[in-house]
Amino acid sequence: MTAFKTTSPPAAKATGATLFWRTMWARAYPRIVGSLIRERSWLFFETVLPLAATVSYVFVYQAVGAPEEYVGFVVLGGAMTAFWLNILWAMASQLYWDKEGGNLEIYVLSPGPLMAILLGMAVGGFVMTVTRAAIILIVCSLAFSVTYTISSVPLLIAIFVLTMIALYGMGMMFAAVFLASGREAWHLANLLQEPIYLASGFYFPVRALGFWVAAASSLIPLTLGMDGMRQLLFAGDATLGFLSVEVEAIILLILSVFFLAAARFMLTKLEEIGRREGRLIERRR
């Protein structure tokens, strides 16, 4: 009897864009499943409880007799806080936490680029973030009878997309900064959380801070993003905007390119240092 030996062809090794794409979705999958299926309690703590802060600002504006549009400003700002907190705690601090947990070694030694891993974290966290933002926006809009007058839907979508690209690019850059800063990462995250609420005008038009302060705050993508979306959602009060929507869209595009390029450069350098010298994964006491 003749024995036949069958062999299967070797699996093709993913490289380039294919490797980047597969790495991103492999890292995004645990967060999507964990947030929507396995840890359903997160839906309560991440969506219902944050409503309290937004509602409190609404009551303040109503108590002082502010124009009705300001209630809408607060609702939009409360919804956008979800994206800022996701960037700060679920992305910028992630590599530092993975270093403390012992997972950073796997990331550095794996063939997948760090930028793809971080993008996967962003995509996975984006699902929960959108859920939280949508609940805040819908519930508060219905509860306080907020009226929206959208002047341009395509421009509104473009402003939102550009804001997200620039914001998540900044989150990737912060991830490299936090990782290099070591134990100071936790303090940096706490330091940046509340001041951004003020500088970016989460609950009021950023124009109230004055031109130069608002211009400096425009380095944060959320500042121009929220300002542009408010002008488009409340068309009757475009005079409260800092810059024209078209100018803000151009600046957001520039910020998107800058932050993504800076994040790629910094993460590549940190990855090279980690593989060559082991300084990023070595625990020093």
Q: Roughly what angle, to the nearest 10 degrees, separates helices 114-143 and 153-181?
A: 130
* pLDDT per position as a tens digit, 117-130: 888 887 877 777 88
* Segments making up each domain of the chain, as ranges: 43-277
Question: Mapping DSSP to helix (H, G, I), strand (E, B) and coil, where does residue 17 land?
Answer: helix
Which residues, listed in sequence order, are joined to residue 217 by a DSSP beta bridge? none
* pLDDT per position as a tens digit, 229-276: 988 888 655 567 888 888 999 999 999 999 999 988 888 887 777 667
Confidence of residue 43 (pLDDT cuts 50, 70, 90): low
Residue 16 CB coordination number (10 Å): 7
d(CA 150, CA 125): 28
What are the structure tokens assigned to 69, written together?
Answer: 């549009």
Tell me the pTM. 0.81
If one compares 239 and 111, the residue with the highest pLDDT of the two is 111
